[in-house]
Structure formats: structure tokens, C-alpha cells
Structure 1
Amino acid sequence: MNAKTTPFTKEQLETIIEQYPTPFHIYDAKGIMDNMRAFLDAFSWAPGFKQYFAVKATPNPYIMKMMKEIGIGADCSSMAELILSEKVGITGDDIMFSSNDTPYEEYKKAMDLGAIINLDDITHIAYLEQHGELPDRFCFRYNPGSLKEGGNTIIGLPEEAKYGMTEAQIMEAINYLKGKGITNFGLHTMVVSNELDVDGLVGTAELMFNLALRVKEQTGVEVSFIDLGGGIGVAYKPEQTPVDYKVLSAGVKAAYDRLITGTGHSPIQLAYECGRMVTGPYGYLVATAIHKKDIYKHYIGLDACMSNLMRPALYGSYHHITVMGKENEPANMTYDVTGSLCENNDKFAIDRQLPKIDMGDRIVIHDAGAHGHAMGFNYNGKLRSAELLLHEDGSVTQIRRAETLDDYFATLDFSNL
């Protein structure tokens, strides 16, 4: 059973709300750091193991700096994410720049920072050459296509994804760049998302180790690093089981020992670029029940909406809900929990069994620490909420203030009306 608890009591939460009105996102610093230490420890056997935090999940410099202190880097995919990394002192090998359809100025910024350039398409080599010098190392994003012949059924249908190169293109790219005097190459893939099945995650590692062996056979190059992507899932539902890092690590190690060490290949540095599992379970959207509506169904309206957390509307995702102070009361009411947008899919939960909710109750939406605030938007003129960081001693730091109407109107010029 995956217990859904909060790192604060109702009384602590009310004290926080006195200073920071709902809605807001709040992150548990201790939970994030304990989680990352456990992950790094599980893979301590791997030579030069690196975890690059996928900045897109929670692009906040306070959280990035906190993790930088234990050696975690940044997986970036845009100019803004590169600048965030630079501002907290993450540079060089600690940045993996994995992007697609990328403007040259973003590549240039990444190269200026010394980042590892992870190419999404073979044509990007010529694109870089047209604009300037090539970096002295490359990583290539692999799209394995159909895996139905002895492949990993968990991975799905990569051939329908816009990302990555074919195997033939990777071989061609390496041979071409060898001719340019480049000798340092890596491989990358991202073929699972929110995966809780360890076998699927280990299958990704096996896929990449086998690719490394074929690269050596066909090009004579031994790749020096492999980024296994992200994809480690979050157990959003109470009945789901989180990924056991030690079990995952043991499976990856067995594959590494068999396919890399066991074949005489030189040691390969391994990396992940997890984001969701890093902050997701340790972030909460806190809101207040402000309306109740009874027609053909029972609705509870919050002061938050899908601009604060769009995953339920976009993907139909489940996010657990706690009514603070009523954790032990019977869940004998059926509600749709909604926001105020002019969209009927602006719902955090549909037909959810919850305790009776009264106006003013504090509603905590779990597992909102990744792809929550980061995916916010301003439809209907809604303003993005504050982000708070809860420290182990119970103190709170505001790490992003709430937007104001002045922020919303800042890009408009009313003087010419």
C-alpha cells in the first residue's frame, strides 16, 4: 500500500496560509533530498554515475541548487532552462542538453556552457556546421522504432514518436564525425514515461547496452557514456507500488555486467535524467473549497484550477486528494472536484469518494511536484500561483511569488489604444 500522507499537519498548514494564501504549490525539501540520496546510493556501483534533473519538471532555481549540492546536474531542453542552470552554477559536464527542433542560439548557449550536446536528428550536424564550430563530443538520441522482434513490449511504439535517430543514422553520424576528428561519443534514449514496471526500465538499459556493442562492431568506436533517459514513474494511486531503486539498479547492473563488462567493452559512464520521480511525490497543490454545487452531480469548486495543475484535464491523470483534518473520516461522498475555468474538463477529480467537504476546507492534491506549476498557463486570465519550499525544521521559504495582474498585463501596450 502506497500511503498518501502530507509532510505538514492541518495546524501547520493554517499557519502557512496566514502568510501565503491559497492556492500554492509546496515542496518537501527533505523528501526530495532523501529520495535523491537513495537513488544515487543505489547506483553507486556504476562508473561515474550521474543523475541529470529534468529541469522541465520543476524549473525552480532553489530546488536545482539544493540538488546541485549532492552532485545532481541538469537535463535542459531550452534557453530558459540553460540560463536557470547557469544561474545556480550548473555548467559543463553537469548539463545534458537534449532538445529537438532547436534554434542555433540555444545550441550556442549550451556549447558556451560546456554542456553535453545530445542530438535529436542527424541533420542537426550540418545545421551546427553551417553556423559555427562543432563541439568536441556528441551524444545521439536513439529511437529504436518497432520493438516487436524480441523487444520490450513495455516500451510501446517508439516509431510513432517525433524524437530520436534510427540506428543507421547513428552509425552514419558517428562515422562522419570520426572523419572530423571527434572521438568522444555517447548514446541516449527516452522510450518509456511514468513507468513503474522495473522490467521495462531494465529493458531500456539492455536495449542501449546492445546498441553500444553494435556501435563498436560497425564503427570501431566505444561509446564513453549512456544516458538511459528518465521515465521512472510515480505511484500516483494508493494501490500502486513505487519503483524500488535497489531492484532497478540490480537489474541494470546484471545487464551491464553481462553485456558490457562481460564482452570486454571499456567501462561506460551511466546516467539518468529523471524529473518526475525526483520532485513529483514531494510536491502538493494546496487549495481551498469555496463553492459547492448540487445538480445532477455533486461538485466542489476550488480556488485553484487546471492552470495550477493540468495533468488531470490533459491526460485524465489520477491525483490523490486529502481533505485536511478529515483524513480519518469516512469517504462517503462522491464529488467532482473542479476549478473555475470556462472549460468542462477543468476537474481535478471525477466521481471521487471523499469525506464530506465544507466551505473553507483545505484541499491538498498530492504528487503535484513535477509537471504541475511548470505546465501552468494564463487562459481566462488566471494567474500562476506561488511556490513554497518546506524545510525539515518546519519553516517555509517562498521560492516563487504568485503572479499579479500587473505581471499578466506587462506584455501589453495600452498606450496605443
Structure 2
Amino acid sequence: GNNVTTEELKFVAKQGAVLNLDSVSALKRLAEVVDPEGFKISFRVNPMVGAGHHDHCITGGVMSKFGIMDNEAVEVYQFAEDLGFTPVGMHSHIGSGILDPEPFKLAIESTIDIAGKVHTEAGIDFEFVDFGGGVGIPYTPEENIVDIDTFAKENIALFKSKLEEHDLGKPTMYLEPGRYLVGDASVLLTRVNSVKQSYRKFLGVDSGFHTLLRPAMYDSYHHIVAANKMDAPNTQEVDIAGNVCESGDLFARDRPMPDVEEGDLLAILNAGAYGFTMSSNYNSRPKASEVLVKDGECFLTRERETFEDLFNKQIIPDYLQ
């Protein structure tokens, strides 16, 4: 994480995990709440490589808020050792939603070059090098899924050759492919509650960007199908609009759809990575339920919120009662 609080540092330290630090500030504060002697840590570095499906998701380069600078890595790792810590890893992450393996190759080269310099000049022996996540999934029907075998073969070969180049031994290569694992595991089901012919034709649904933020926040494409009319041919192009009080609350513009009526059910696909976790109660909307489907059976795993739930944590001062 970045910009973590001291309380968060304390919590993670108690779990026995290797803390991955994003700044010198976090390092100094950690030294105040744990015994640094022999305490294993890692640092996130900025490899000066960035990639991703949207500018907001690019996490490397001069505009990034993440990580320590590549040209200060030796000094920071040495400072950590001087405090008594045992640095054992290096971490980088260049962005999210990447379908091309080439940016990962640049990140591997850059990160291992930084690790090699830290190893040579600060004497750090790395147990692991973590290249974060970012492996994308296809959102549009035209996109192809990442060829994970080719991705692994090319990047592991490069990783090994760079380790040899810098005489770094055999640290473990870490990846964190979150979206790749869960992105297409969920769909958002939303019901059409209005069909409106205005200057454009709108399908109004009982959900909005408070439930699935990506289309409004990133202008992201999510494929949408009429769940109860899967075999019906597309006959029109419509805008699919949410129920939040902003013009940006749209799931799609000019989207081909079959003849859809009020009461029909739409499925918005690939909602698993940043669906519920980014949802909110904006516009006083209760959050949706979550249902697990396995082998044709459905299991309720999270109850739908009620309006009463929105007030559970509120405390009204006496003078307002």
C-alpha cells in the first residue's frame, strides 16, 4: 500500500508478514513501532515504466505517486540496514489491465537493473523480486485473452538472464495477477425499469456507478447482454443508463441490443475485479447482494443492504433529537 498509517503498519507487523514499504516516511515510522533488528522488509521502487488501460491505472513513471525513486534505491536500502532492518525483497508494479507482455519485459529489465545496483552498492541479497500485477482480461468481444504460457515463458527467461547479468543468485519471482484470476468470475445483474425515447434511446436500470464504477470512472467497456433473451438478435443501439443523479452514470453508449422491455434482466460482464469492492452508498443507495453460483446452485453470500443499514453507524447529537 501507499500512504499507510502508523496503525496499519502496526497491524501488518503483528501478522508476521514481510512489509513492503512505499516511502522513507513509512520506514521511519515502522522503526518507531517495531524492533527493527532482524525484521524483514521490502521496498516498492518506481521502475520508470508505466502501462495500463487508462491513465489512472498507470503506476510507474514520473507522474506516479508510488514507490521510491530508482536513483535513491541504494540510499534507502542502506538506510534500512542502518536502522537494523533486514531488506529481503524489491517490488514494482507498472499498471493494470495490460494485455501485451512487452511492458512487463521493460519492467523486469528496469527493476532487476535497480536490484543489481542495490545488491552491488549496498550489499543486499534478495530473497524475492515482486513485479506486482496488471495482467489484463478481455473486456470486449474482440479482445483476446493473454497467452499465459507465452507470457510466462518469455518473462521468466528474461528474469533469469537479468539475474545472471547482475549476479543476483536465485531470488523467487513473484506476480500478483488479481484481475486475471477474478475479473471474469462475476457479473452484475440489473433490471430494466424504464425504456425512454428522448433525444436518444435509453434503457434505464436499477443500478448505477455506485455499484459498478469502472465505466464512469475510466470510460471502461463492459460487455452487456440481455440475460433473459440471450438468443434474441440485436435490433437497435441504445444507451444503458444507471439510476444515479449524474449524466456520467452510463454503463454504455450506442450499445447494440435486442428488443428490450421493462422488466428484462441485463448482465454486465467481467465485474469481478472492481465491482463490489469499489461500490458505495452514493445517492443513499443500499449496496447489492452477492450470490455464489456453483454447478447450477445458488448460494447467497452477502445480504442486500436496506435503507435502515445506511443509518447503522450514525450517532445523532442530543440537541438534534
> In the aligned structure 2, how far is the partner of 1:257 from the partner of 1:200?
17
Checking the alignment, whether the CA contact within 8 Å between 1:193 and 1:233 is kept in structure 2 is: yes
1:321 aligned to 205, 221, 224, which one? 224
Contact kept, 8 Å, 1:138 with 1:184, in 2: the verdict is: yes
Contact kept? 2:126, 2:168, Cα under 8 Å: no
Is 1:133 the counterpart of 2:39? The answer is no
Q: Secondary structure at the match of 2:62?
A: helix
Post-superposition offset of 1:276: 1.6
Report the 3-state secondary structure (helix = DSSP H, G, I; strand = E; otherwise coil) of the residue aligned with 1:260.
helix
Where in structure 1 are there 5+ consecutive unaligned residues?
1-98, 148-154
| Shift, 1:265, TM fit | 2.6
Q: For each residue in 1:269-323, what CA deviation from the matched residue of structure 2 results, as whole angstroms up to 9, or x when unmatched?
A: 1111222222111110011111110011100011111111011111111000011
Partner SS, residue 254 of structure 1? helix
> Partners in 1 of 2:252 and 2:25 — Cα distance?
44
> Corresponding residue for 2:112?
209
Among candidates 275, 286, 295, match of residue 372 of structure 1: 275
State the Cα distance separating 1:168 from its structure 2 match: 3.1
Between the aligned residues of both structures, percent identity stands at: 30
Aligned in 2, Cα 1:237/1:289: closer, same or farther, shift over 3 Å?
same
Which of the numbers 55, 61, 77 marks the counterpart of 1:174? 77
> In 2 relative to 1, CA 342–156 (structure 1 residues): closer, same or farther, beyond 3 Å?
closer
Candidates 110, 134, 154, aligned match of 1:231: 134
Task: State the Cα distance separating 1:213 from its structure 2 match.
Answer: 1.6
Partner of 1:114: 16
Q: 1:248 aligns with which of 151, 163, 167?
A: 151
Alignment of 1:333 onto 2:250: no
Partner SS, residue 158 of structure 1: coil
Provide the secondary structure at the position in 2 that maps to 1:160: coil
Report deviation, 1:413: 3.3
Structure 1 stretches (4+) deviating beyond 3 angstroms? Answer: 180-184, 261-264, 413-416
Q: How far 1:261 moved relative to its partner?
A: 4.0
Partner of 2:284: 381
Q: Is the 8 A contact 1:387 1:400 kept in 2?
A: yes
TM-score (norm 2): 0.91
2:171 counterpart of 1:268 = yes
Q: State the Cα deviation string for residues 173-228 of structure 1 (Å, max 9, x = none).
A: 22122234444421111112210001112322222222222221221222111111
CA distance in 2, matches of 1:325, 1:411: 38
Report the Cα distance in structure 2 between the residues aligned to 1:314 and 1:256, rounded to whole angstroms: 34
Matched pairs, number: 311
1:347 Cα offset (Å) = 0.9
| Corresponding residue for residue 362 of structure 1 | 265
CA deviation vs aligned residue, 1:344-382 (integer Å, no higher than 9, x gap): 111111111111111221100000011111111111110
State the Cα deviation string for residues 364-413 of structure 1 (Å, max 9, x = none). Answer: 0000011111111111110100111111x221222211111121011223
CA distance in 2, matches of 1:140, 1:188: 6
In 2, distance between residues paired with 1:314 and 1:168?
Answer: 33
In the aligned structure 2, how far is the partner of 1:357 from the partner of 1:221? 62
**Greater relative CO, 1 or 2 (CA 8 Å, sep 6+):** 1
Q: Does 1:100 align with 2:12?
A: no
- Amino acid aligned to 1:228: F
Residue 113 (structure 1) shift: 0.3
Where does 1:70-109 land on structure 2 (aligned, <5 Å)?
A: 99-109=1-11
Instruction: Indicate if the aligned counterparts of 1:212 and 1:222 stay in contact, CA closer than 8 A.
Output: no
Amino acid at match of 1:320: H
Following superposition, the deviation at residue 118 of structure 1 comes to 0.7
Determine the structure 1 residue equivalent to 2:189: 286
How does 1:43-54 map onto structure 2 within 5 Å? none
CA distance in 2, matches of 1:351, 1:407: 36
Q: Are the structure 2 counterparts of residues 265 and 412 from structure 1 closer, same or farther at C-alpha, using a change threshold of 3 Å? A: closer
Is 1:124 matched with 2:15?
Answer: no
**Distance 1:157-1:189 versus aligned 2 partners, 3 A rule:** closer
Alignment of 1:335-354 (within 5 A): 335-354=238-257
Deviations 1:207-263 (A, max 9, x none): 222222222122122211111111111211111111111111111121122111465
Q: Using a 3 Å threshold, how does the CA distance of structure 1 residues 146 and 272 change in structure 2: closer, same or farther?
A: closer
Q: TM-score, normalised by structure 1?
A: 0.71
CA contact (8 A) 2:116 2:167 kept: no
- Counterpart contact for 2:39–2:85, Cα < 8 Å: yes
Distance 1:254 1:220, change over 3 A: same
Inter-partner Cα distance in structure 1 for 2:2 and 2:9: 10
C-alpha RMSD over aligned residues: 1.9
Q: 2: CA distance between counterparts of 1:129 and 1:192?
A: 30
Q: Secondary structure at the match of 1:226?
A: strand
Does the Cα contact within 8 Å between 1:144 and 1:159 map onto a contact in 2?
Answer: no
The equivalences for 1:301-320 within 5 A come to: 301-320=204-223
